[in-house]
Amino acid sequence: MNELLEQLNLDQSFFVELALLALIFFALSQLYFKPFLKLIQARHKKTVEDREAAEKLSQQAQSKLSEYQRILTEERVRVKKHLDEALMEAKKQEAQILSEARDDAKRITQEAVESVQKQRESLKQQVQIDVEALAQTISERLLSRNNR
C-alpha cells in the first residue's frame, strides 16, 4: 500500500484531507443540503398539491358548468312549452273574438237589411196611399170641372 501511495505521490496528509473533506461534506449535508433538499421537496409537494387542487377545482367548475347548462336547457324547454301554450291560447282567443265579431257583423248587417226592408215596405205603403189619395183628388177635380 505504501508503494501505491508513493506512486500516486500521496502522503499521510492525504488521509487527513480526505477525512476533513468527508467531515465537511457530512456537516454541510446536515446544515445546508438537507434543509435545501427539504425546501425543494416542500416546494415540489406544494406545487403538486396546488396542481391537484387546481385540477379538483377545475373538475368541480366543469361539473357546475354542466349542471348549469343542463338546468338552462331544461328551463329553455319549459319556457318554450309555456310560450307555445300561451300562443295557442292567444290564437284560440283571437279565433273566438273574430268569430264573435263576424257573428255581430252578420247580425248587424241582417238587422240593417231587415230595417231597410221594413222602411221600403212602409214607404211603398205610404206611396201607394199617397198615389191613391192623389188619384182620388185628381179624379174629383176632373169630375168637378166636367160638371161645371
Residue 55: is its pLDDT beyond 80? yes
What range defines the domain where residue 110 resides? 2-146
**In the predicted model, what is the mean pLDDT of the chain?**
90
Q: What is the pLDDT of residue 140?
A: 86
Alpha helices in the chain (DSSP H): 2-7, 12-28, 34-146
Q: What is the pLDDT of residue 28?
A: 83
Q: What is the mean pLDDT of residues 43-52?
A: 92
Q: What is the pLDDT of residue 95?
A: 96
Residue 17: is its pLDDT beyond 90? no
What is the C-alpha to C-alpha distance for residues 123 and 72, in angstroms, rounded to an integer?
Answer: 74
Residue 69: is its pLDDT beyond 80? yes
| pLDDT band, very low/low/confident/very high, at 30 (cuts 50, 70, 90) | confident
Residue 117: all three cell numbers together: 226592408
The number of folded domains in the chain is 1
Residue 59: all three cell numbers together: 373538475
What is the C-alpha to C-alpha distance for residues 98 and 111, in angstroms, rounded to an integer?
Answer: 19
Residue 125: is its pLDDT beyond 90? yes
pTM passes above 0.95: no
